[in-house]
Amino acid sequence: MTWKDVFKKGQELILATSSADAIPNANIVISLGFVDGKLLVADSQMNTTLKNLKSTKQVCIIAKTAKEYYRVKGSVEIFNSGKYFESCNKEDKQCPTKNAILITIEEVFDLDKGKKIL
């Protein structure tokens, strides 16, 4: 199993952001898996998180399974139309997608082993 498997489609993730004034915020999101080598999540009701993402473009995400625990950091692109947006809408018919959030992973840290792996 690789670190990417812990971020697979359907996995519950903790997505943390910070405002431009360094005020932290965190949300629970569901992974839509990797698309074009980047992690995709949908914004259905993010307010503070979306404001932070638009301002700083940075994110930190925690994912855990029964055996593995990882933290990734990366930069985001936000889409309110196009293929990533449509992909989000196909996945969740109950909550309409407001934005697709595409995350370029820049750092991976294995929290169990206490070391950076990417």
Structure confidence at residue 91 (pLDDT): 78
Q: Which of 17, 76, 28, 79 is nearest to 52 (CA)?
A: 17
Vertex 14 angle, CA 35 and 12, to 5°: 65
Q: Is pLDDT above 90 for 95?
A: no
**In this structure, which amino acid lies at residue 63?**
A
Task: Report the pLDDT averaged over residues 85-106.
Answer: 90
CATH number for position 105? 2.30.110.10
Per the structure, the complete domain to which residue 28 belongs is given by 3-116
Q: Is pLDDT above 90 for 37?
A: yes
Q: Which pTM does this prediction carry?
A: 0.94
Residues 104, 75: contact at Cβ < 8 Å? yes
Measured CA distances, 102 to 35, 93, 113 (Å)? 8, 19, 27
**In this structure, which amino acid lies at residue 102?**
L
**Dihedral sign (CA 71, 20, 28, 33):** negative
Number of domains in the chain: 1
Percent of the chain past pLDDT 90, that is, above it, reads: 91
pLDDT tens profile 57-75: 999 999 999 999 999 999 9
Q: Which of 1, 20, 6 is nearest to 105 (CA)?
A: 6
Spatial distance between the Cα atoms of 88 and 92, rounded to a whole number of angstroms: 7
